Amino acid sequence: MRYCGRPFTLEEIEFIRALLGATPALNRARLSREVCERLGWRRPDGRLKDMSCRVALLRMQTDGLITLPPPRNAKPPPYLARPEIEQAVLAPPSVPAVDLTRLTIDPVSHKRESLLWNAYIQHHHYLGHQPMPGAQLRYFVRAAGEVVALLSFGASAWKTQPRDEFIGWTREQRERNLHLVINNARFLILPWIQCKNLASRVLALAARRLGEDWQLRYAYRPVLLETFVEKPRFAGTCYKAANWLCLGDTQGRGKLDRLHRNAEPVKSVWIYPLVGDFRQQLCNA
């Protein structure tokens, strides 16, 4: 049985059931950490994959394999409005001119910046804000000190046929090296900013520094970027202008579509290699 990219044996399921029957009872957070510790489920930088484990445990419960203790706290909303932040993300009275040669791109580094980034996405991105689990980086792009664009990068899709055929890896190689593929989950040019070539310039700046930033935070360097562009809402023009490669379309199934209902919008799949030997590294044993 496979959950969140990890196969679980019957013995491991029985071990999790034993933990659930332990006295004193473990809460969900403690349980996920204990499972990761005992089963050796860790990220490439050595940290526990406890968030992935929590998702896996929830899916095991949905499949009737285990029964989790009730959550201690109600599930927090995906976005919580804060009046002082809401005002900061409104359109300014005057729009600054954008000089493409003087853009700055900076990762989100503290709590207020994180709240501000979330608010911009909630109010101005068509998908709104959704928390991203696992390894991630979020960026502000500024011109003359004013925010003009935002991006985020996180975990890649578990599998997608156009990408996997392009790489040419086996299932085992994908399971082992998928962390080296990073997904551009959000990309927003603020709606009041009008500047030709800004989007492709931002993508180029992000690709140039992402590898080093990821290395500093997570102790490994990704080799390939991917993104999914919803059709027919967008054509992916800025990705094409930034030298990303379109590999084809998804089937519209989504991550959790086990019944092949094709309930999600069809998206085009785009990739951008960060290194020349990305196939060799992704197919490395």
**Banded model confidence at residue 107, pLDDT cuts 50, 70, 90:** very high
Query: Are 186 and 264 members of one domain?
Result: yes
Is residue 74, in this structure, part of any structural domain at all? no
Query: Are 57 and 157 members of one domain?
Result: no
Query: Are 46 and 95 members of one domain?
Result: no
How is the chain split among helix, strand and coil, in percent rounded to 5?
Answer: 40, 20, 45
Please write the tens of the pLDDT for every residue from 36-94.
999 999 988 888 998 889 989 999 999 999 999 988 877 777 778 888 899 899 988 88
Residue 23 has pLDDT above 90, yes or no: no
Query: Are 172 and 270 members of one domain?
Result: yes
CA distances from 267 to 27, 38, 63, 210 (A): 38, 39, 29, 24
Please write the tens of the pLDDT for every residue from 7-16.
899 999 999 9
Which segments within 160-219 are labelled E, that is strand? 181-189
H or E stretch at 137 = strand 137-143
CA distances from 136 to 67, 222, 228, 268 (A): 30, 12, 17, 22
Query: Are 25 and 111 members of one domain?
Result: no
Domain boundary among 46, 62, 78: 62
pLDDT at 25: 86
pLDDT at 252: 77
Residue 273 to residue 276: CA distance in whole angstroms: 7
Give the position of tokens 């959000």: 186
Give the range of the structural domain holding residue 51, as residue numbers without chain letter.
2-62
pLDDT at 44: 80
pLDDT at 71: 86
**Banded model confidence at residue 244, pLDDT cuts 50, 70, 90:** very high
| Six token digits for residue 216 | 């500093």
**Banded model confidence at residue 242, pLDDT cuts 50, 70, 90:** very high
pLDDT at 253: 66
Is residue 82, in this structure, part of any structural domain at all? no
Query: Are 35 and 153 members of one domain?
Result: no
H or E stretch at 271 = strand 267-273
pLDDT at 254: 59
Strand 181-189 with 224-230, pairing: parallel
Strand partners, 214: none
Query: 27-43 burial, b if ≥16 CB within 10 A, otherwise e?
Result: ebeebbebbbeebebeb
- Domain of 201, CATH number, reads 3.40.630.30
Query: Are 134 and 272 members of one domain?
Result: yes
The residue among 74 and 31 whose pLDDT is bigger is 31
Give the position of tokens 């800004």: 198
Query: Are 247 and 140 members of one domain?
Result: yes
Is residue 110, in this structure, part of any structural domain at all? yes
Is residue 73, in this structure, part of any structural domain at all? no
Please write the tens of the pLDDT for every residue from 245-284.
999 999 876 554 455 555 688 999 999 999 999 999 999 8
Q: Which residues contact 16 (CB under 8 A, 6 or more apart)?
A: 31, 35, 57, 60, 66
pLDDT at 81: 84
Please write the tens of the pLDDT for every residue from 132-147.
877 899 999 999 889 9
